[in-house]
Chains A and B, each alone.
Chain A
Amino acid sequence: MQFRSKNSAHFFINAATVAADLSVVLTEAKNISLEAMNAKALVARAGDNVRTFKPITDFMVELANDTIWLVKEINREALVLSRTSLAELHSSDANLRFAKAQQKASTAPYVETLDPIAKMAYNQHHQQSVQLRRHMRKLFELLDEIESRMLAANVVTATSRLEAATAADSYQASLEGIVVKLEKAANRIKHIATKCRHSLER
């Protein structure tokens, strides 16, 4: 992750866009949660026929809950980041304007009265830049987290396929359907998380 100040003018837009994109992830996470409920009901009905599928349904519930929580966190952080990047942009602009005034007034009798103001503008800009980097790091950590959850989901879907294949014929199709839906949702979430990361890195 690399923050480049030349892009800061567009950065607050990108951060706000990320928050909007994540609403899709939230929908997918809710779909996983729904599929997990279906799977639980199926496992309860099938009893010993699909006993090995129970830990998978537990994982799906956990995955859905974690994803919903993560998306909410990312969304909150993206909005904070958008606000922070706008504040950074304003402080950068103020810093430049005070520096320009100092330069233009270099021969003025009272130019030194600008020094504390220009210094304060410089410090404020520095602080805003530090804040911006901190929030960037936090957001990337959360995106990392969601991507790694989805990689785990891919591993689980591979295992689930094997389990579904060994289940009784009457349950096989239903279990495979659940696995396919989980896999699709995980891939879609991963795709969006990667897209969000690229938007922020642009």
Chain B
Amino acid sequence: MKVIKLHEGRSHEWLVFGRDEERPSKIIDTNQYMIKTTNHAIMLDPGGIELFSAMLAAVVHHVPVQQITHLFASHQDPDIISSLGLWDKTLPHAELHAPWLWEGFLRHFGCNSIRYNPLPDEGKSLRLDDIELQFIPAHYMHSSGNFSVYDPQAKILMSGDIGAALLPDGAPMFVEDFDAHVDKMRLFHQRWMPSNRAKKDWVRRVRQLDIEYMAPQHGAIFKGRDVQRFLDWLDELEVGTGIK
């Protein structure tokens, strides 16, 4: 499992875990994120069950496991959170922040000890030591109950499936050539994102944020000017193309 430090500040750091070489070949590659503060750590979209061992092994290179006090699931998909049953055994005192809409569904993955903290549709904030994370509504992007996570200090937006790209194994962790990258994102967004109205709403919300990195759950991370280029591209893209 490749690990990259996305941000290192006075109060906290962001780590991205991905490009696991031992991942079974038919499983889509995913990026998992962890924010580590002085006393806490939160894992964002901690991944599927098949990745659990590799993730847990990678995480303890950076924090003692007890320091992980929070989990976040942007939505209910198995590649996002089907490992929940095992995290439930690992972190029995942790809290899971996830859309209220999916509580009854996510509990099918096993959530006996972890406390489910349902996120209201309008979003909310979470304070971890010196930082405050914002859960930004991203409903229907692609899931009907969906959130992005924004860290105003680090200026990082974890965008879940928005900005995802289907890349070959071993692809770089950052977008290097935006124009070439567009081809690897188009189908994903056109087919997985169902609503132009929802897309416009999310783009409008996110344009108000100061973003240095936009970090999706699949593919490569956008930085600097590419973030705005992505928002412009998405704003114009026709989505929901599954219906002819």
Contact = CB atoms under 8 A, between A and B. Distances in A.
Nearest to B68: A113
B60 A121 contact: no
Given A100-B57, A104-B54, A108-B57, 16 more contacts: A90-B85, A94-B86, A98-B53, A98-B86, A98-B89, A98-B90, A103-B57, A105-B60, A108-B61, A109-B61, A110-B60, A110-B63, A110-B65, A113-B60, A113-B64, A120-B89
Given A97-B53, A113-B66, A105 B86 contact: no
Contacts of B53: 97-98, 100-101, 104
A100 B51 CA distance: 11
A117 interface: yes
A111 interface: yes
Interface in A50-100: 90, 94, 97-98, 100
Contacts of A111: 60
11 contacts: A94-B86, A97-B86, A98-B86, A100-B53, A104-B57, A105-B57, A110-B61, A113-B66, A114-B65, A117-B89, A121-B89
Interface of A: 90, 94, 97-98, 100-105, 108-111, 113-114, 117, 120-121
Categorize the interface residue count of chain B. 10 to 19
B56 A101 contact: yes
A118 B219 CA distance: 32
A36 to B, nearest CB: 48
A33 B56 CA distance: 60
Contacts of A108: 57, 60-61
B188 interface: no
A90 B52 CA distance: 14
Contact of B89 (A94, A100, A109, A113): A94
A100 B90 CA distance: 14
Interface of B: 49, 52-54, 56-58, 60-66, 85-86, 89-90
Nearest 7 CB-CB pairings of A with B: A104-B57, A105-B57, A101-B56, A100-B53, A113-B64, A110-B60, A101-B53
Nearest to B63: A110
B61 A105 contact: yes
A113 B56 CA distance: 11
Contacts of B49: 97
A45 to B, nearest CB: 61
Contacts of B61: 105, 108-110
Nearest to A121: B89
A18 B58 CA distance: 44
Contacts of A94: 85-86, 89
B168 to A, nearest CB: 24
Nearest to B91: A117
Nearest to B1: A104
Given A113-B64, A114-B65, A105 B56 contact: yes
Given A110-B64, A113-B65, A101 B57 contact: yes
A94 B62 CA distance: 22
Contacts of A109: 60-61
A107 B51 CA distance: 19
A94 B84 CA distance: 12
